[in-house]
Structure 1
Amino acid sequence: MSQGEGQGRGATSVLDAPTGVVGRTRPRHGPRVTVAQLLAAQLEDSQAPTTRMRATDLATRIPGARAGSGPLPVADPPTSPAPRRGAHRAAAPAPPAPARRTPAPRPSPTPDRPAPAHRVPAPAARPTPAPTAIPSPVTPSASPESPPTGTRTRRREGRRSDTAVTSMVVLVPAHDEEAGIADTVEGLLAQETPEWLEMVGIVVVADNCTDRTVEIASRYPVTVIETSGNTEKKAGALNEGWRRAARDADLVLTMDADTVLGPGCAAAMADELRERPALGAVCARYWAAEGRGLAWRLQRLEYSRYDDLRELRSWRVSVASGAAAMYRRAALDEVAAHRAAGPWDGTSLIEDYALTLDLKTAGWTVGAARGAHVLTHPPRTFRELWVQRLRWGRGGMDECLKRGWTPATRRDIGAYGLFVLSVFFRVLFLTMIVLMITHAIPFRYALIGLIPLGVMWLERVTSMWRLPGRTWRDVTLVAVLVVEDLYGFFLEFCAVVAAWRCLFARRQAW
């Protein structure tokens, strides 16, 4: 897909501002305001119509947050000045913000919400600014674009600057997402940023859309880029948005169009990258959004247990999840130097995992931000879940086979080996049970054999107990064990089929 096939739409006042934003000195004190307020103020300056947004209250559905408590606490470094207006120009008046802000609940958005009287005009073309030095809060002692051969740990960077401003652009690839794009954009507009972080643009990449995604997204103060003829799915949409609107940003936040950021999520991820110079990417902790049905309830429990696993691993992750991930510009530039289209691999079924392996190969590390929470919509039926897990399993195995045994893949290859052993012993156990029944061999029980079963049951109960919004149905599913065991069989069968297709089927399917 060529670079000119997309067409920008919607208001782009923040991206169309004069250059010179990055690296300038900011006042050390100022009120904390939301991105929604400052973007709306910019549109009023340019006499463009705006729509007033209200953030969705996620406090009751995200662990670690309380209703009415505002954004999740993000510890600023000792040298960081007070909060400020994220992207407002100095000339605009800054109204004082209250000490505590309680987001007003809003009804679930529908595709039939009234549109404003006028469309926000598309931005006029402006010259591309010349590349500048990376104005991150830390000054690198050596260029990260050229790490020494064989180096896996990123070098220590110098002491951070107190006045440098870090710019951030958000990329939201969307394909026929009219049902959830409004929630996604409103969650972004409600984000609050510290004084050193500036959200300079929100870009919705409408990829081959045939529904009202473009129409709904254009009602907000964001940039809408339409693509047509893209054959590389999500990776192609991300590369298009990165080339056209995010190459000059210090941080790039990517997220799915069916995901909503929790309070303070963007600031928490940026702060994690600020505190740990070796990180090339950081992802959020994702939870299942509100839903119904057995498939949704089982995935909700699965997400909770996976979050426990991340905590046990000290927030180290195997993949920077595409639901919401933030990248350094230096890391993306280093990967893009070896791929003409952009950092994301269009030939991979799971582009987030492929990019994670590329970052690890280049010497960067990846992790999860403890204070960053998002709500994402899991598959609604077992059929949709089957298609998703086949793609995940096939894509992960393809990437490992493509790269072979390397420092970046050996942990994941080892995990696949343990999975093969687990499946083998499970089949062996079931075979033994069948033979005992068919040959009328009496069963004998030993109390010591119940110890592993008790440990497994206790682990599931404790994990379920930390699940936000749990009900008696969740307690029943975990207590009886059988339903979750059958769900485990289902996931293992998906993985076995994915492995078979990876080894013997040439064609990859999304």
Structure 2
Amino acid sequence: MGKRQENTTKGGNPMRNDRTTGAGNQSTVPRDPAAETARGTHRADGGTVTVLVPAHNEAGAIVETLHSLGRQSRRPDRVIVIADNCTDATEQLALDQGAEVIRTLGNTDKKAGALNFALGGLLESADGDELILVQDADSQLAGDFIENAVRHLGADPTLGAVGGVFSGGPGGGFVGHLQRNEYARYARDVKRLHGRCLVVTGTAALFRVRTLRSVSLARTRGTLPAGNGHGGVYDTSVLTEDNELSFALLTLGYTILSPADCTLVTEVMPTWHELWAQRLRWKRGAVENCVQYGWTKVTRPYWGRQFLSMLGVLVTLAYVGSIAYAVESGAGVHLHAIWMAVTAVFVLERVVTVRLRGWKHMLLAATMYETVIDLFLQAVHAKAYADALFNKKKVW
């Protein structure tokens, strides 16, 4: 995976039972999912739960994240922090909280590479019914997240992953406020769809060991993209590993779910610059995942969303361009009935969809102040399409 790793460092973990075996420096041995199904029965309780927390210089958030795991109504059996190229106190803080720590040095494959390293050891010896929760180091789970996720996964043997529905954390000023509104709308949409989602969020997702093995095996056999030839569960060649893993699960015939009762809080980007970088990576990654998988029954809805997104960019450019031309030419801007009707519909949508945040935010949304982030995101989308089209070097 283009990296050097050090052996597991372990801490006494009050958040787990007396299991002390850590992940070693090993590669995943793919197993046949059909054989896995045959040798084990489907267990409603899901077996043991191991939490993997990939962390790169997360000293500011790791303690709170681990505290949220310690407060779970269904407490995890193991908590492993993957200290990936850390130069701050992340590793020591995790050990102080009782978590196990795996240290990677020289990992050039970011989060995907760190997770593949840890999973390479875990999947080797784990039972197919055991569960693995992958969680970002800057996200805190609601107290019943694991309990609810285990229940959902246990109720449906075809379910490949249970993801979370996230809200935005505090801070970030005006740009943070806009992201919290955006996440509230996302939560509303997922709830209305009864948990059906297009992507299992990387902020927190629960998987069966058996499922992750089937993904790794499919990459080895060439059924799924191999990720720079390294294989493993996560494709290390992409910008959005959670989006690609969702494609992989759906391609293998699994379903994915983000139930309304699996909630968490995640960090918001504190500046416009950081939000631009995040959303540009998300958008370009989503576009390139579509190209990577091609036109299939699985990817058709994703291609449809990209088509609508491109149409939105063109309409926005035309709208803004017509206003600029009218002002520049001296013709003035005239209010036509059709545009007034479109504006009224837009305002109504802004008000209704932010209802989860309360009536004050609903009244504020009616002022159309969020137009600023709508235009911002259209610019991000335009840049992502241009970068993908001209194959501009990826930077993360």
The normalised TM-score by structure 2 is 0.86
Give matches, 1:108-507, under 5 Å. 166-193=47-74, 199-245=76-122, 247=124, 248=126, 250-337=130-217, 338-339=219-220, 340-441=230-331, 445=335, 447=337, 449-467=339-357, 474=361, 477-481=364-368, 483-507=369-393
Residue 463 of structure 1 deviates from its aligned partner by: 2.6
Alignment CA distance shift 1:363-1:218 (3 Å): same
> Shift of the alpha carbon at 1:230?
0.6
| Superposed displacement of residue 440, structure 1 | 4.8
Per-residue CA deviation, residues 419-471 of structure 1 (Å, 9 max, x unaligned), is: 1112222222233333444455476545565333223222222232311xx69
Q: Distance in 2 between matches of 1:508 and 1:177?
A: 23
2:305 maps to a residue whose letter is A
Work out which of the two has the higher radius of gyration on C-alpha atoms and give 1 or 2: 1
| Alpha-carbon offset, residue 246 of structure 1 | 5.0
Contact 1:10 1:219 in 2 (8 A): no
Q: Distance in 1 between matches of 2:272 and 2:186?
A: 19
Which one has a larger percent helix, Structure 1 or Structure 2?
A: 2
C-alpha distance in structure 2 between counterparts of 1:452 and 1:205, whole Å = 49
Pairs aligned (count): 378
Distance 2:175 2:145 in 1: 27
Report the residue type matching 1:466 in the other structure.
L
Cα contact 1:11–1:123 (8 A) shared by 2: no
Q: How far apart in 1 are the matches of 2:295 and 2:183?
A: 29
Note closer, same or farther for the CA distance 1:222–1:375 as it changes in structure 2 (3 Å cut): same
Q: Distance in 2 between matches of 1:224 and 1:88?
A: 16
Q: How far apart are the structure 2 equivalents of 1:309 and 1:206? A: 34
Gapped regions of structure 1 (runs ≥ 5)? 14-34, 40-86, 90-121, 135-139, 147-157
Identify the residue that residue 109 of structure 1 maps to in structure 2.
none
Per-residue deviation at 1:2? 7.7
| Preserved CA contact (<8 Å) 1:345 1:351 | yes
Q: Secondary structure at the match of 1:204?
A: strand
Partner Cα distance (2:102, 2:2) in 1? 13
Letter in 1 for 2:286: G
Question: C-alpha separation between the residues in 1 aligned to 2:330 and 2:101?
Answer: 68
SS of the counterpart of 1:171? strand
Tell me the alpha carbon deviations over residues 284-335 of structure 1, each in whole angstroms, 9 at most, x when there is no partner: 1101112141110000001111112222333211111100111122221111
Distance 2:68 2:185 in 1: 25
Q: Within 1, Cα distance between the matches of 2:82 and 2:362?
A: 41
Aligned to 2:11: 11
Aligned 8 A contact 2:323 2:333 in 1: no
Distance in 2 between the 1:297 and 1:206 partners? Answer: 30
SS state of the match for residue 282, structure 2? helix
SS of the residue aligned with 1:315?
Answer: coil
Q: Secondary structure at the match of 1:224?
A: strand
Cα separation, 1, equivalents of 2:92 and 2:353:
41
Gap change, CA 1:432 and 1:281, over 3 Å in 2: same
**Which ranges of structure 2 fall in alignment gaps of 5 or more residues?**
221-229
Change (3 A) 1:207 1:439: closer
Q: Which amino acid aligns with 1:166?
A: G
| More moved, 371-380 vs 430-439 | 430-439
1: CA distance, partners of 2:43 / 2:251: 29
Cα distance change on mapping 1:487 and 1:124 into 2, 3 Å: closer
TM-score by length of 1: 0.68
Shift of residue 272, structure 1, vs aligned partner = 1.1
Rounded to whole Å, the distance in 2 between the matches of 1:309 and 1:210 is 39
Question: In structure 2, what residue type is equivalent to 1:380?
Answer: P
- State the 1:476 CA deviation: 6.2
- Against the structure 1 CA distance between its residues 124 and 231, is the aligned structure 2 distance closer, same or farther, given a 3 Å change threshold? closer
CA distance in 1 between partners of 2:68 and 2:296 (Å): 39
- Distance of 1:361 and 1:7 partners within structure 2: 34
- Whether the 8 Å contact between 1:145 and 1:334 is mirrored in structure 2 is no
Q: Check the 8 A contact 2:123/2:213 in 1, yes or no.
A: no
